[in-house]
Amino acid sequence: MAEVKKIATRESYGATLAELSTEYPNLVVLDADLAGATKTASFKKVCPERFIDCGIAEGNMMGVAAGLAAAGMIPFASSFAMFAAGRAFVQVRNSIGYPHLNVKIGATHAGISVGEDGATHQCCEDIALMRSIPGMVVINPADDVEARAAVRAAAAVERIGMIAMIYVGETLLITPYDDLGFGSYKTNEGYLTSKKVVPSVAEYIADHHLSVDKIFVRSQDSVTLLRTRAILEQIPGIRVMSSAADNLEVITPAADKGTALGMLCRDIGTDLDHAAAIGDSENDFEMLRAVALPIAMGNASSEVKALCRWETDTNAEDGVAHAIDRILAHNKACDEQAENSGI
């Protein structure tokens, strides 16, 4: 029988932060005079220049963490659950949650397991308090393995600037925060009439036993998108692609535009050998490979242009309209030539 190792999750937390010190040069760890107990001392030992002891001032620590996040750092603010979620709640709510800043809060010593410290330290309200803050993600690992994975996931995923829409049939599920992000540029009628704003998309899907058709994520941070994509691509049974430099799309492997266009051609009585397609990004690859006349937008990626026979103007220059005009003019010229030849 394999040996069972009992490893406290706080040990896993500190050890993983120490490992991440070399992987993330902008990762900073903060503590409130409890580095020995929360095990952030492991990080301090290997990276003292990015460790900040804020003293017994948890509210101030959360404010410092918020400022660091606003400046582009990845702060992990650490303390006992009673102090991180309880004493510092106002700062977490207003300085971190409200502006959706990229702060990770490592709360240890939760629940009644902190026996010798007494009832004042036995926090049973921490998860409820944090879940009451819109946009806050709560992770409660069960053991060493989950704790290490959770810390790595928290470091890799930046919530700020990343917004998501979930496609369920004809409905777009979206949170109020994400709706604000998409609403700044998506004003078309389809988006406005099909969206359903809910407090928690995950809970809504679970409560209504829904099946997700597509997840669309947008961020201006290319590093965050790359890291998120790397994580998602490890999940079997899904396909990750992009339709622009600022987004990711998660779909079923069976879905692609080439297959859809082939179905459309059959429905209207033609085939892909008599079809043209215009594309500009990764999610157009299958469609462009499938048709007789693949056309690249002027703003298309180099990979798309390599697949195509010719290039039209950019989106801003009405490239699709110009491509259609060129095709129609070519067809008209062919018809006139055939007519003049008596064919």
Tokens 């703003």 found at: 299
Q: Partners of 218 in the beta sheet?
A: 163, 247
How far are the Cα atoms of 3, 75, 116, 156, 233 from residue 287, in angstroms, in the given order? 54, 43, 65, 33, 22
Tokens 């004003």 found at: 187
| 86 CB neighbour count, 10 Å cutoff | 19
Task: Classify the C-alpha dihedral 16-66-89-50 as positive or negative.
Answer: positive
Of 49, 58, 233, 317, which one is the catalytic site residue?
Answer: 58
| 247 touches 164 (CB < 8 A) | no
Residue 58 a catalytic site member: yes
Angle at 27 between CA 23 and CA 28, to 5 degrees: 145
Which H or E element spans position 30? Answer: strand 27-31
Q: Which residues does the annotation mark as catalytic?
A: 58
